[in-house]
Structure 1
Amino acid sequence: MDKLLTYLNSLAPGAQRDFAQRCGTSIGYLRKAISVGQRLGESLCINIDRESAGAVRCEDLAPSVDWAYLRRSALQAVAQPEAA
């Protein structure tokens, strides 16, 4: 969560609101989650990773999730599409 806080603090207030909105949440929710050490849902983690252009990675937000496995699974699915 430290990386998320650092990232948010690097943005102007309007950019913080825009970032949170693109992630599907509010800046208030993100700040509250950071302050209490709340676990973020996987979908929100992915949105934050995407919208921060990798500055805040899923692994930073939810280290208990096996993101490497999920990424490998996604790559395999793209490489081996289902037969029609």
Structure 2
Amino acid sequence: MSLHTYIKVLDKAKLAELAARCDTTAGQLKQIAYGHRRASGGLAVSLERETQGQVTCEQLRPDIDWAYLRGSKVA
């Protein structure tokens, strides 16, 4: 699901809570959802975590090789 679809059903309080859990602002999330800004890699990860995978890193940042990162192991 897109970030736009995910946040459009949230009321202001729920959107603010999501933003706080992702260490950003509701305004920033709206800018990303409407395509005016791009999520950082870290924010993409936070959004995937906080939406329980409904919004994925791949949807937010298709320019990053998430398959490689998901498959890599910490030494």
> After the TM superposition, which segments of 4 or more aligned residues of structure 1 sit over 3 Å from their partners?
none
Q: CA deviation at 1:60?
A: 0.4
Distance in 1 (alpha carbons) for counterparts of 2:9 and 2:22: 17
Q: Does 1:55 align with 2:60?
A: no
Choose between structure 1 and 2: higher helix proportion: 1
Aligned ranges 1:64-83 → 2 under 5 Å? 64-73=63-72, 76-77=73-74, 82=75
Query: Could you list the per-position Cα deviations for residues 28-54 of structure 1 after superposition, in whole angstroms to 9, with x for gaps in the alignment?
Result: 111123334322110000000000000
Distance in 2 (alpha carbons) for counterparts of 1:40 and 1:3: 13
Aligned match of 1:35: 34
Conserved 8 A contact 2:4-2:34: no
Aligned alpha-carbon RMSD (Å):
1.5
Q: CA deviation at 1:27?
A: 0.6
- Fraction of identical pairs, as percent: 36
Aligned match of 1:21: 20
Query: Could you list the per-position Cα deviations for residues 51-75 of structure 1 after superposition, in whole angstroms to 9, with x for gaps in the alignment?
Result: 00000000000001000100101xx
Select the structure of larger CA radius of gyration.
1
Distance in 2 (alpha carbons) for counterparts of 1:56 and 1:32: 15
TM-score (norm 2): 0.88
TM-score (norm 1): 0.80
